[in-house]
Amino acid sequence: MSLQRVGSLETFVNVPTEGRRSRRGSVSSVAASERARKLTFNPLPESWNPVFNEEEEDGLGQTRGAFEVPQWKRILQVIVMVVFCLFSAGIVFGYAALKPVLKKEGAYQVICNGGDTCVEIHLNLMFTVAAVATNVAALPVGAILDHFGPRVCGVIGSAFLSIGALFMSFAKSLPFDAFLFGYLFLALGGPFTYISSFQLSNAFPRHSGLILALLTGAFDASSALFLVYRIIYEKTAGTFGHHQFFLVYLVVPALILIFQLTLLPKQSYKTVGEMIEEIEAPVFADPSIAANAGDADDQVDEQTALLRQEQQEHYESVVHDIEELLGSNKVDKDKQAQREEARNEKSGVWGVMHNHTAWEQIRSPWFILICLFTVVQMTRINYFVATIRPQYEAIFGDTAKAIEINNFFDLALPLGGIISIPFIGVILDHTSTIAVLATLVTVATTIGVLGVLPYTWAAYANIVLFVLYRPFYYTAVSDYSAKVFGFRTFGKVYGTIICLSGLLNFSQSGLDFLFHKTFNGNPVPVNLLLLTLGLVIGICLVGYVGVQARGLTRKREATGYVNGRGEY
């Protein structure tokens, strides 16, 4: 007896098995005798709502609960993605370590006729384009992730990394600027791999902070890849050149592709909010059906009753799995709610723009000032990464000392991000927004002053502050955006800040020209210009937020602050 495929509640169609014969021995006669026969009754009760497996729906943009995937598999997914981020997420920011290797390998020597300043400007432009692409790519990556899921993002990232590695490897023999385009594709491959991995924090909701910290740490540490390569290059006396290195690097995108198609999730994991909605959803989707379900009980047969019981048991099983995954404990939930309320109140500005549209938020001083500050700081950060060695060569007049400082920076950059991660969250959670902004402006100003002093201690202090400031700054901007503008418009507002800041980073090329041409290799005027801009905008930002925060505090004291939710 074969199973029947029910096309609807009115018809059913026999689907012949390949090679099946009728009693007369003819395959075709079976096919010819197939007829859609109309049922004279509804074989299922009206209140029955079948349970479908999400995997069968095969929707690329859909999500799935972490409880549906074995724990060992989720653990392995997190480990694999942390490793992949370590080798691909932010490798282009290790430019300071790769730059001397490319110079020794003769990059841009033909175009520049051996001119060192010309080579310097071309290589810095290569990094500038990559840095801009990394920031701007966040918007399309987010859209692709939402509509097609993390697997598609991972495959695209793998393709970009492969193209970038091939371009970098064969750059000298290609008829276009393959160094620039190769580095650009390496930069694009990073966000597709890194951003699509964030959803893995939902694989273990109780440890989401740890998972995000691991992924962020891997991103910061990925800049050390080119440092390791430079050490290998020097140890092998230049025999392991960039051509061989980038050919070997093709192993990384190949492994990413293999694991994306096998182990890693095709769909994003559901957030805690989505799973809570699933718990609170009624067993019967239609309220009218649920109301009439009891009346229909005496009209159903035993098989239908079993089906209904199976659905109820499935629902209860899902609820149990979700609660076990979330570790739902009423006492813990109350404590979490109290901590969240205390953090929001501590901020001083939480919820100030939550009830406004994205366009109203973008037109406000809250957005304009933080966006201008981000533009200046991001430009300063990337400019320093690109020019640290020539800057200190000019300041000290000593190439050996500049190389020594550059080597220290190459090691400190990834370590600074990893070391600072545990402390950043604590500072942001227990400090007011005005205090965080004041700290950002003060540290940025200190870095600017140390960067122009001709003392060795100042150079090392500058680097230590810089590598700790960089991850703190980026995290503080996203924290400010979430507290001031809210999560309803977070993607648009924060994405716009980063995108505009990235695009305006093209001004780096102009700063490079001023440094090498206008000021004849003297970095002090450019650094003072950036220091002054950052300080003026920073004072305006801190002043505005301070005044608004005091006004909000007085208003809350007068009208009452409800539940830490910005309601008055």
Sequential pLDDT tens for the chain (568 residues): 333 333 333 333 444 444 444 433 444 444 444 444 444 444 444 444 444 444 444 445 567 776 778 889 989 999 999 999 999 999 999 998 999 999 999 899 888 887 788 888 899 999 999 988 988 887 788 778 878 888 999 999 999 999 999 999 999 899 999 999 999 999 999 989 988 888 887 788 777 767 877 888 888 889 899 999 999 999 999 899 999 999 999 999 999 999 999 999 888 887 655 566 655 555 544 444 444 555 555 555 666 666 666 666 555 555 555 555 555 555 555 565 566 666 667 777 878 888 888 888 899 999 999 999 999 999 999 899 888 999 999 999 999 999 999 999 999 988 888 888 778 877 877 888 899 999 999 999 999 999 999 999 999 999 999 999 988 888 888 888 878 887 677 767 877 888 888 888 888 888 888 888 888 889 999 999 999 999 999 999 999 999 988 888 787 777 754 444 444 4
Half-sphere exposure at residue 154, Cβ-oriented, CA atoms within 13 angstroms: 28
Which of 49, 48, 35, 39 lies closest to 10, judged by CA? 39
Residue type, 90: G
- Helix (H) or strand (E) segment spanning residue 64: strand 63-64
Report pLDDT for 32: 40
Which residues, including other chains, have CB under 8 Å from residue 51's CB and lie 6 or more apart? 310, 311, 314
Give alpha helix (H) positions in 205-285. 208-221, 225-235, 242-249, 251-261, 272-280
Task: Please write down the long-range contacts of 292-295, taking CB distance under 8 Å and 24 or more positions apart.
Answer: 292/46, 292/47, 293/47
Which residues, including other chains, have CB under 8 Å from residue 50's CB and lie 6 or more apart? 307, 311
